[in-house]
Chain A
Amino acid sequence: MAATLLGQPNPIAIAFFIIFVLSTIGITYWAAKKVKGTAEFYAAGRSITGFQNGLAMSGDYMSAASFLGIAGLVATCGYDGLLYSVGWLVGWPIILFLIAEPLRNLGKYTYIDAVAYRLSLRPVKLVAGISSLVTVLFYLIAQMVGAGTLVQLVFGLPYESAIILVGILMIVYVLFGGMVATTWVQIIKAGLLLGGATILVFMTLWQFDFSYGALFSEASAQYGHSFLVPGSLITSPLDAFSLALALMFGTAGLPHILMRFFTVPDAKEARKSVFYATGFIGYFYILTVTIGFGAATLVGRSMVMSVDKGGNMAGPLLAEVLGGGVFLGFICAVAFATILAVVAGLTVSGASAISHDLYVGFMKNGVSDEKREVRIAKLATLALGVIAIILGFLFKGQNVAFMVGLAFAIAASANFPALIMSLLWKKFTTAGAVASMITGLVLAVVLIFLSPTIWVDILGNPTAIFPLKNVAIVSMTSSFVVGIIVSLAKKEENAQQIYDAIIPRRYLGRGAE
């Protein structure tokens, strides 16, 4: 491939995108009539089926980082990209086996409800609410900057107007349609993304007579055998395990994913959701890997990297080679819809952390009237939209790829340990939860700052103070150890009694909300 249409306004992309925006705004208008109280705003009235929620979960999870990022990583680094596609999938079965049922049966609107269920409400809600919000904000920055850059490339719009457009749309979806609109935006986006990627893979394999062997032979012929072998991304075994921990357990600590468990009526539908989501996401990752190898062979690695150094345009460029400007436009619109939907999911989750966990849980000790809570949630949505736009401006042109990694590291280190210990370990205490979450949050943020990712690559220092690129092996382990030691140091009688008392609820769903 010698030249691309990327960089000039693509009328097809704009047309597809306008159709997407109009239909999702239509859905929001319909949803707005249904959103009356907290159950609708946070949990779509618990009316979503397992299959729908599975699609919506995969929609929440398949961000631009996985669609554009993994394909780009495979196109530029070969096999190493597969590490991410595998790592981002394997957390799902763990969620299903250990978390799904008790979380659904014990929680109300956010995963923090389930953590705090048998502990003291205020301290847990405060610390978990902050950690949840921090996770969401880092994830949000990565999505906003990605959206701005993508729109600049595809639609020819300036970066700033793209950020404002995304910010306004996410506010509209969430403010008026709450979780009802957000869920349907996710479902449509997941359908578009799975469909678009399937067509792209079909057309790629067509070039190779539907033989993966032929595709890999071509990749090997162009870039050598080493392209099909794990390579430079993972330098030390310790780093490999650390990355693996963050990817696997980070998934199980993402607030916007865990929140989706409360949109279904019961544990049975929750299990179904996770199974469908795992299937869709696994299928999608196999597609993105194929797209990556397709882009490497049919577009060419140097072409991919000349458009975007990180390789993020591998998928769109492959679409252009195979289907011209029309298909390029379609795939770009799908990528933009992807970002928009993920941003909406993050906003509901961030708003609920502010209104349900920090305001009602912490400030009001769990007592508030519903009308007021919804009003606070809507104000929080508005505030988050404005903050997202400002952050998008501030981080313009910065390398934000590490922020998704940081969000996963915090989720794995601060959110996941407290959640799993509260659900499964009788002797876990309030002090243990608070200490564990603070340890995980502070260590994850500080160590990433001191790691080669920021200290060397971004700040330009010669050597890193913390040697590993991935921090979870230290931050997540410490979070568990601190949580266990503090819990064992001082017994919390009340927490243990409630643990026993809620056994029927956690296993049978009796009295679950």
Chain B
Amino acid sequence: MVNKISEKDIVNDKDFKDLISKRNTIAVTLSILELLLYFGFIALIAYNKPYLGRTISPTSDTTIGIPIAIGVIVISIILGGIYAYWANTSYDASVKKIIERMEVE
């Protein structure tokens, strides 16, 4: 038999509470990483241009600043990918499980 689940049941469910606190922790951690990544890069531009101007090796003319900038772009895409993958597999599966379990009880 399927009971109608009230919003209250969901909010007070322990698994649901654990799940959203896990979700928020992951989202906030990743956001902080992204902010550190970007503002770290900006801080280098603001306070340490000479470092960004060093060449990556004695024989090369490429400056360190170029791979760092491209790195910020690539790492941003990867961080987004990590979140999207986690949310679309683990998170969504748990959400489904919680709702199904509550419907049976």
**B77 & A94 in contact (Cβ 8 Å cutoff):** no
Give the chain A neighbours of B81 by CB distance below 8 A.
275, 279
**B65 & A90 in contact (Cβ 8 Å cutoff):** no
**B95 & A272 in contact (Cβ 8 Å cutoff):** no
CB < 8 Å neighbour of B53 from A225, A237, A286, A507: A225
B interface size (C-beta, 8 A)? 48
Would you call A79 an interface residue if the criterion is a C-beta within 8 Å of the partner chain's C-beta atoms?
yes
**A268 & B92 in contact (Cβ 8 Å cutoff):** yes
CB < 8 Å neighbour of B46 from A85, A237, A248, A503: A237
Would you call A220 an interface residue if the criterion is a C-beta within 8 Å of the partner chain's C-beta atoms?
yes
A interface size (C-beta, 8 A)? 52
**B80 & A278 in contact (Cβ 8 Å cutoff):** yes
**A230 & B65 in contact (Cβ 8 Å cutoff):** yes
Q: Secondary structure at chain A's binding surface: helix, strand, loop or mixed?
A: helix
Give the chain A neighbours of B60 by CB distance below 8 A.
213, 216-217
Would you call A383 an interface residue if the criterion is a C-beta within 8 Å of the partner chain's C-beta atoms?
no
Write the chain B residue with the least CB distance to A285: B73
Which residues B62-79 have CB closer than 8 A to chain A? 62-63, 65-66, 69-70, 72-74, 76-77, 79
Shortest beta-carbon distance, B14 to chain A, in Å? 14
CB < 8 Å neighbour of B63 from A221, A229, A234, A241: A229
Shortest beta-carbon distance, A177 to chain B, in Å? 29
Would you call A500 an interface residue if the criterion is a C-beta within 8 Å of the partner chain's C-beta atoms?
yes
**B88 & A282 in contact (Cβ 8 Å cutoff):** no
**B69 & A82 in contact (Cβ 8 Å cutoff):** yes
How far, in whole Å, are A212 and B61 apart by their CA atoms in the complex? Answer: 10
How far, in whole Å, are A240 and B44 apart by their CA atoms in the complex? Answer: 10
Q: Secondary structure at chain B's binding surface: helix, strand, loop or mixed?
A: helix
Asked, given contacts A229-B52, A504-B7, whether A268 binds B46 with beta carbons under 8 Å apart, the answer is no
How far, in whole Å, are A217 and B56 apart by their CA atoms in the complex? Answer: 12
Give the chain B neighbours of A248 by CB distance below 8 A.
38
Which residues A271-291 have CB closer than 8 A to chain B? 271-272, 274-275, 278-279, 282, 285-286, 289
How far, in whole Å, are A275 and B30 apart by their CA atoms in the complex? Answer: 14
**B83 & A271 in contact (Cβ 8 Å cutoff):** yes
Write the chain A residue with the least CB distance to B54: A229
Give the chain B neighbours of A240 by CB distance below 8 A.
42, 45-46
Shortest beta-carbon distance, A285 to chain B, in Å? 6
How far, in whole Å, are A209 and B80 apart by their CA atoms in the complex? Answer: 33
Give the chain B neighbours of A229 by CB distance below 8 A.
49, 52-53, 63, 65
Would you call A367 an interface residue if the criterion is a C-beta within 8 Å of the partner chain's C-beta atoms?
no
Would you call B11 an interface residue if the criterion is a C-beta within 8 Å of the partner chain's C-beta atoms?
yes
**B88 & A86 in contact (Cβ 8 Å cutoff):** no
13 further interface pairs, Cβ-Cβ under 8 Å (given A82-B69, A234-B46): A82-B66, A89-B72, A93-B79, A94-B31, A96-B80, A216-B66, A226-B53, A228-B53, A228-B61, A244-B38, A271-B87, A504-B11, A510-B99
Q: Which residues of A contact B (CB under 8 A)?
A: 79, 82-83, 85-87, 89-90, 92-94, 96-98, 101, 212-213, 216-217, 219-221, 225-226, 228-230, 234, 236-237, 240-241, 244, 248, 268, 271-272, 274-275, 278-279, 282, 285-286, 289, 500-501, 503-504, 507-508, 510
Q: Which residues of B contact A (CB under 8 A)?
A: 7, 10-11, 16, 19-20, 23, 27-28, 30-31, 34-35, 37-39, 41-42, 45-47, 49, 52-53, 60-63, 65-66, 69-70, 72-74, 76-77, 79-81, 83-84, 87-88, 92, 95, 98-99
